[in-house]
Structure 1
Amino acid sequence: MTIIDEAPVLSAPANLRGLGGIAIEGGVLRHGMAIRTDDLALVTEGVADELVAGGLTVIVDLRSNDEVAITGRGPLGTRPVAYHHIALMADVGASMPAVDREWRFTHEAMGESYVAMTETAAPALVTALNVIAYAPGATAFHCAAGRDRTGVLAAVLLLALGASDDDIVADYARTAPNMPGIMRRTRGVMGPLLARLGVDEEAMQRSLPDGPMDVSMRIMLGTLRDRHGDPLAPLRAAGLSDDTIARLRAKAIAA
């Protein structure tokens, strides 16, 4: 079942980047292991071919069921790429911070929502980390914008690999200059979903905060440390094993 009648417009990602080059325990995260990106279901045929030629073998789709119902897998669905749909939230509204039914789009509110996501969606995050650990080639993980749900998975992956908080925050903040392109690219999908929640997309865009994005990720990491000691504690309680972490680190360092 689809939610909109018109086919989404295909385009190149606006927020795609590999995590290679980030300092981790034992060295530097190798290139070609993990890619974070905005919606891969919207890529063109040419981009799909380039990603596969570049070593992509696995996709982890973090979107909700409603989002997937609109686009399906897109052109990459016809390529030899394994696909795992691991929704971090049941619906888009659940991932949007709200108080007294009013949406709050501050950097601080987004950081608080990332903490809640880490704690409530810990089993899904553990599943995603295991997929990355056992994937034979490069794994790309994405939501719609490649910022929030994708940013949380990128953060816990980098934590498991032993990256510093500063490097995790710096990677997250690299999305900031891409936001105008992200909003244009996802409008055809997110607009109808936001309308169902009673959120006016144009009003929401006007309410998006200015200033450095790094506040959100610092709140996530700092709050998890204050609350649990180990920021990965919610994931460990949900089944993240030392064996999986060891496998991720060995894979990240291997040439």
Structure 2
Amino acid sequence: MTTLDTAPLPLSAPVNLRDLGGTVVAGGAVRPGVVLRADDLSTTDRPFADELVGAGLRAVVDLRSPDEVALTGRGVLGERSEISYHHVPFLADIGRAAGDADPATMLDQSRFGAMYLRMYEGAAAQVVTALAIVAHSPGTVAFHCAAGQDRTGVLAAALLLTLGADAEAIVADYARTGESSAAIQRRLAPVMAPLMARFGLDLDAAARAAARTRFSETPMRELLAALAERHGDPLAPLRAAGLTDGLVARLRERALAPSGTA
């Protein structure tokens, strides 16, 4: 058991984990078994961790803030000698992010587009680091944040853009998280509710609001549109932060399954 303020946390299988394999990109599709996106893997139970390792998982990229990692650690996957663990926080300080934001915006998923753009541009160096891990790891790579929605969604979009996916494919992947929203909130609550309460945010209120509203594709569409409008090439912020043609080529070599073989 992981603990939070001495209270044991229930460990469970993730509820928002999926293989990006099969996503159509330029020249083919993403090869299955290369990259997984997920909700919090630090609270994964041991049987599911064993399943992931048995299926080829060899690297975990943890996008959570230091505050979150301090609460739950790396989890059981972090104990496995087969797994390389990489902490690549997309938010350095979740408390500051919460304190600087309008609470209404923080709790309304349909209004997250501007946050996604700030993250993509402001954490471009971390995005490139995560892409390099995907490119060079020997087995399956899983990246996760808490819900597997926002930071994970931004990295998934960056990866798919790098591989040449179009906007509709990226939005379709993002929208699949909506199918699991209620389960995500239930799984997150033991960790995130007390954490967010420290910063004046009510996770229960967010869950009630989510239950009343349909998961929106708008934030991802806004991110992609803003990148095109501001930069022309949506990879421009990543290229400025170190994304080279060689890294793009390596990602495509590793992740691309030619048409008809995905």
Shorter chain as normaliser: what TM range? over 0.9
Q: Does 1:82 align with 2:84?
A: yes
Aligned residue runs from structure 1 range 178-197, under 5 A = 178-197=180-199
Residue number among 107, 115, 118 corresponding to 1:116 in the alignment: 118
SS in 2 for 1:83: strand
CA contact (8 A) 2:25 2:166 kept: yes
Alpha-carbon shift at residue 211 of structure 1 (Å)? 2.7
Task: Look up the match of 1:53.
Answer: 54
Task: Look up the match of 1:38.
Answer: 39
* Range with greater deviation from structure 2 (56-65 or 71-80): 71-80
Aligned residue runs from structure 1 range 15-164, under 5 A = 15-79=16-80, 80-93=82-95, 101-104=102-105, 105-164=107-166
CA contact (8 A) 1:129 1:157 kept: yes
Alpha-carbon shift at residue 253 of structure 1 (Å)? 2.1
**Structure 1 pair 106/98, CA: closer, same or farther in 2 (3 Å)?**
farther
SS in 2 for 1:249: helix
The residue type paired with residue 190 of structure 1 is M
Distance 2:92 2:195 in 1: 13
**Structure 1 pair 18/96, CA: closer, same or farther in 2 (3 Å)?**
farther
Q: Please, what TM-score do these two structures have when normalized by structure 1? A: 0.94
Distance 2:191 2:108 in 1: 23
Alpha-carbon shift at residue 108 of structure 1 (Å)? 4.4
Task: Look up the match of 1:229.
Answer: 232
Distance 1:28 1:72 in 2: 34
SS in 2 for 1:131: helix
Aligned residues, how many? 253
* Range with greater deviation from structure 2 (212-221 or 112-121): 212-221
Mark the runs of 5 or more structure 2 residues left unpaired by the alignment.
Answer: none
Identity %: 51
Distance 1:102 1:72 in 2: 27
Distance 2:95 2:117 in 1: 16
SS in 2 for 1:36: strand
Alpha-carbon shift at residue 213 of structure 1 (Å)? 1.9
Residue number among 169, 172, 175 corresponding to 2:174 in the alignment: 172
SS in 1 for 2:61: strand
Distance 1:187 1:70 in 2: 13
Alpha-carbon shift at residue 107 of structure 1 (Å)? 4.0
Give the root-mean-square deviation of aligned CA atoms: 1.7
The residue type paired with residue 141 of structure 1 is F
Distance 1:135 1:77 in 2: 16
Task: Look up the match of 1:220.
Answer: 223
**Structure 1 pair 124/15, CA: closer, same or farther in 2 (3 Å)?**
same
SS in 1 for 2:146: coil
Distance 1:49 1:107 in 2: 33
SS in 2 for 1:60: strand
Q: Please, what TM-score do these two structures have when normalized by structure 2? A: 0.91
The residue type paired with residue 221 of structure 1 is L
SS in 1 for 2:42: helix
Distance 2:96 2:55 in 1: 34
Alpha-carbon shift at residue 94 of structure 1 (Å)? 5.0
**Structure 1 pair 92/112, CA: closer, same or farther in 2 (3 Å)?**
same
Alpha-carbon shift at residue 68 of structure 1 (Å)? 0.6
Q: Does 1:250 align with 2:257?
A: no
Alpha-carbon shift at residue 232 of structure 1 (Å)? 1.3
The residue type paired with residue 54 of structure 1 is A
**Structure 1 pair 96/26, CA: closer, same or farther in 2 (3 Å)?**
farther
